[in-house]
Structure 1
Amino acid sequence: MDGSGDVDGFIELDGVEKVFRVRRRTGRWRREVREVRAVDGISFRVPRGAMVGYIGPNGAGKSTTIKMLTGVLTPSGGRIRVAGTDPSRERVRLARRIGVVFGQRTTLWWDLPLRESYVLVRRLYRVPEARWRANLERCVELLELGALLDVPVRQLSLGQRMRGDIAAALLHDPEVLYLDEPTIGLDVVSKARVREFLRNVNAERGVTVLLTTHDLTDIEQLCDRVMVIDHGRLVYDGGLEGLHRVGGSERVLVVDLEREAEPIRVEGARPVRVEGPRQWLAFPAGASAAPLVARIAAEYPLVDLSVREPDIEDVIARMYERGAAVRGGGEDAPSRAVDAGDVPTA
């Protein structure tokens, strides 16, 4: 049966593993072969049209998972289906149904103008010209690429190239879009534009999106569901608010006052640092900053403020430690994905 019709499993992974054999020299003539388990028994399902965050620290197994989903790598064990297709066995067929943006590795042609890269994409995927033009015009307008079309890719900034790569990944109308750090190198305005573009693509075309990022704001604004991978294992699968509760994570409000003052005391936050007129206050990551800002502005001579999001690695480390403690600890404690109900609220 074609899994593409199964709304509960448009993307399916069952007990997927990926083991690499690494050779290491241990003497002048000796070499040792050891196994590195990059992905260790991951299982999850993503319904058609969902937008899901897939996050974790560097080396956790995110990129390895994405490469198996695209057919670049073959699993060492387990089963993968994307739209009813086995990626490793039907890679060419699947390629016409997916779009990929791999972080800082561009899919564009380095020495060609952006426009020429898009022409080659059309020929590569055999996209009818009318559909290609309509898709290109929409991407150029929403991502503001008009002034960049005749610029060689090598002359683009990282942020400009990322926007160019996102457009290239959508010109053939993929059903699935894999994004690795899509807002890296972008300024605040460009990040907002890219996020809005991705929301539109997901809502209007029903494109299924799997997003990896180190920017929690990307997840907050785009995804209702987040999966966390660490040491090759899925350690959390649920909502972002639940992730913050499980990890006990905090956001930091950086406040600049007109002059030095005693540590700010407001309900819902705690002072963590004071340097002259600048102060740092921590508050729960799942809470809104708006009430805090209103209280501080009403009671203190405020000049400026900003909010710093919790670091993903820190959130995962806290979650991993607390999850192990709640389940009795042990090396294998986080081997299953936890949800917000597994760990009490801090």
Structure 2
Amino acid sequence: MPVIELSDVSRAFTVTSRAGLRRTKREVRAVDGMSFTVEPGEVMGYIGPNGAGKSTTIKMLTGILVPSGGSIRVAGVDPSRHRLKLAKRIGVVFGQRTTLWWDLPLKDSFAVLQKMYDVPMARHRENLATFVALLDLGELLDVPVRQLSLGQRMRGDIAAALLHDPEIVYLDEPTIGLDVISKARLREFLAEINANRRTTIILTTHDLDDIEALCTRVMVIDHGHQIFDGTLDGLKSSQSAPRTLVVDLATSLPPIEVNGATVTKVDGPRQHLTFPPTTSAAPLLAQIAANYPLVDLSVSEPTIESVITQLYAPTPS
């Protein structure tokens, strides 16, 4: 059975604007006719530009907002009608907000959460020991939250969201502002939690490296509408984003001329050529090797950044 079910869900807001003495109201649909399901243990990236409707969807899934139309069931219940019941079955992390107590040491925040969620003490200690080890929180437990760096606080927030063994975790920009090492540590932790505990994860982020590292499924939305739902490979192939051939020559030369590829960048003896994703690289390599002083080469697949950019590019009129 799916752990998340949305059927024709919409959420509208009334926006008031003023021109002189006249006020006008208009309806804005942040989410419009959204339908999808999420299976237990999935890691789904929920992505789109600012204003696409991502945060509105998450707020409806957690019961903070009530849909204007359609129906939602999360872990078998209606989120807006059973917020307290659902709270024990979900975890939420908002990258720019904390659920920890600002002036308390980190360990005291964890202790308060154990009481709030009524987690058996033995299970709380077991989870806490696991998360402290995986997230390297040992030296931070006695530090007030206000003294933690952003990366340290984020690790604390993620531990806090998982201490009560939620079935579903919503992560909204969990790596925002973090350094490379902190991001890698968080990604490894989330992958391990998903693999070992089958925790369902919904990830909204602008950091597409998070999506590539963690997600088995990607849903792309724009102006409240779903425009793609599938695997990362499916997303890339849907846009026919070009592959890149990086060629190192023995010396600097004018742009390489080969059938089926176009030089997009020349950097001394290194040249970058793009070619269609459906084209085999082998004929291109044979042409270059036969006609140019080839030293080394590599083939790069399309990045998710280039695919998303192409997906949102305006359609030529």
- Asked whether the 8 Å contact 1:40–1:232 carries over to 2, the reply is yes
Distance in 1 between residues matched to 2:231 and 2:278, nearest whole Å: 11
- Asked whether the 8 Å contact 1:249–1:310 carries over to 2, the reply is no
Distance in 1 between residues matched to 2:153 and 2:312, nearest whole Å: 32
- Asked whether the 8 Å contact 2:236–2:304 carries over to 1, the reply is no
Q: Do residues 22 (structure 1) and 2 (structure 2) align? A: no
- Asked whether the 8 Å contact 2:239–2:307 carries over to 1, the reply is no
Distance in 2 between residues matched to 1:89 and 1:76, nearest whole Å: 14
The CA RMSD measured in Å over matched residues stands at: 3.5
CA drift at 1:281: 5.4
Give the secondary structure class of the aligned counterpart of 1:112.
coil
Give the secondary structure class of the aligned counterpart of 1:89.
coil
- Asked whether the 8 Å contact 2:249–2:294 carries over to 1, the reply is no
Q: Which of 292, 307, 312 is 1:317 aligned to?
A: 312
In the other structure, the counterpart of 2:225 is 233
Distance in 2 between residues matched to 1:42 and 1:192, nearest whole Å: 32
Kindly, what percent of the aligned residue pairs are identical? 61
Letter in 2 for 1:13: L
In the other structure, the counterpart of 1:247 is 239
Provide the TM-score with structure 2 as the length reference. 0.83
- Asked whether the 8 Å contact 1:10–1:83 carries over to 2, the reply is yes
Q: Cα deviations across residues 50-109 of structure 1 (Å, max 9, x unaligned)?
A: 111111111100010000000011100000000111000111110110000112122122
- Asked whether the 8 Å contact 2:45–2:218 carries over to 1, the reply is yes
Q: Cα deviations across residues 307-333 of structure 1 (Å, max 9, x unaligned)?
A: 975257514314x74xxx9xxx9xxxx
In the other structure, the counterpart of 1:204 is 196
In the other structure, the counterpart of 2:87 is 95
For residues 62 and 300 of structure 1, do their structure 2 counterparts lie closer, same or farther at Cα, with a shift above 3 Å needed? same
Q: Give the total of aligned pairs.
A: 308
Q: Cα deviations across residues 215-237 of structure 1 (Å, max 9, x unaligned)?
A: 22322222221111111001111
Distance in 2 between residues matched to 1:65 and 1:317, nearest whole Å: 20
Distance in 1 between residues matched to 2:259 and 2:203, nearest whole Å: 35
- Asked whether the 8 Å contact 2:31–2:223 carries over to 1, the reply is yes
Letter in 1 for 2:107: R
Distance in 1 between residues matched to 2:18 and 2:67, nearest whole Å: 26
Give the secondary structure class of the aligned counterpart of 1:211.
strand
Q: Do residues 142 (structure 1) and 134 (structure 2) align? A: yes
In the other structure, the counterpart of 1:115 is 107
Q: Which has the larger radius of gyration?
A: 2
Q: Which of 176, 184, 191 is 2:183 aligned to?
A: 191
Q: Cα deviations across residues 182-216 of structure 1 (Å, max 9, x unaligned)?
A: 22233333323222211221121111111112222
Q: Cα deviations across residues 110-134 of structure 1 (Å, max 9, x unaligned)?
A: 2222222212211221212211111
Q: Which of 145, 153, 164 is 1:153 aligned to?
A: 145
For residues 20 and 107 of structure 1, do their structure 2 counterparts lie closer, same or farther at Cα, with a shift above 3 Å needed? same
Q: How does 1:23-102 map to 2 (within 5 A)?
A: 23-27=16-20, 29-102=21-94
Name which of structure 1's ranges 76-85 and 184-193 shifts more when overlaid on structure 2: 184-193
